[in-house]
Amino acid sequence: MFGVDIGGTGIKGAPVDLDKGDLSGERYKVPTPHPATPDGVIDGVADVVAHFGWSGPLGVTFPGVVVDGVTRTAANVDKGWVGVDARAALSERLGLPVVVMNDADAAGIAEMTFGAGRGRGGTVIVLTLGTGIGSAVFVDGRLVPNTELGHLELHGHDAESRASVKAREDDDLSWEHWGHRLRKYLAHVEMLFSPDLFVLGGGVSRKAEKFLPYLHGHGLSAEIVPAELQNNAGIVGAAMAAAKL
């Protein structure tokens, strides 16, 4: 199976082994065009697919709300995506059956099946920390899609503008300073949802030891673990969705 992950900085794809829940070949990445318009991004997805000569069903993640293949929001990509039937556009361009889903939902499904959320019931919230903050909420393993918890308002700010990895880089924050911002954000989410478990994903999960020490107390008591599939979770989750086409 095959998955493509559209991100704020790169469009990445790879073949996926769905028995192992891992990439079955090296991934290929093209830079996300700026502005990240539908035409430019669709060209990028086509390049990635062509690189592998893939000709089967395709799963694609998008960093915004996706309902029935239509992209509804575009926080970190060009606003021209709002209202686009991305599934139809990609499927027509590539001549393949395509499923499009929110990037965090895809990563969450992969983590719940193959990673840190495997076998976990109750309320599990998978958060992807990157250009934005994505969320995937699971209740006894079942996804509530398009939850958008990265855009909760906290102290008058859009939460992701303060606690994403991009915010850490833009504001040149130490791990401790950023960790405290992240703790406040997680405590707010905990206050609203009382999750049993948070799974923290995105590339930064590789460096979890740098910020996990700051994530406790002040209203934060849920168990917190780093994601296991790290930056490949979106690709794996997209491929899992494609397998159902």
Task: Determine if 228 is a binding residue for ligand BGC (CB under 6 A).
Answer: no
**Is residue 137 at the binding interface for ligand BGC, with CB under 6 A as the rule?**
no
Residues 35 to 54 in contact with ligand BGC, rule: CB under 6 A: none
Q: Give residue number: closest CB to ligand BGC.
A: 132
> According to the binding rule CB under 6 A, does residue 76 interact with ligand BGC?
yes
Q: 22 and 114 in contact (C-beta within 8 Å)?
A: yes
Check residue 32 for interaction with ligand BGC (CB under 6 A). no
Instruction: Confirm or reject binding of residue 103 to ligand BGC (CB under 6 A).
Output: yes
Q: Among residues 103 and 228, whose Cβ is nearest to ligand BGC?
A: 103
Name which position in 32, 91, 128, 232 contacts ligand BGC (CB under 6 A).
128
Q: Residues binding ligand BGC: what is the number (CB under 6 A)? A: 17
Alpha-carbon distance of 75 to 82, in angstroms, equals 10
Tokens 């309902």 correspond to 67
User: Which residue of 71, 91, 102, 205 would you call a contact of ligand BGC, by CB under 6 A?
Assistant: 102
* CB nearer ligand BGC, residue 151 or residue 184: 151
Cis peptide before 35 (omega within 30 of 0): yes
**Interface residues toward ligand BGC, by CB under 6 A:** 63-65, 73, 75-76, 102-104, 128, 130, 132, 134, 148, 150-151, 160
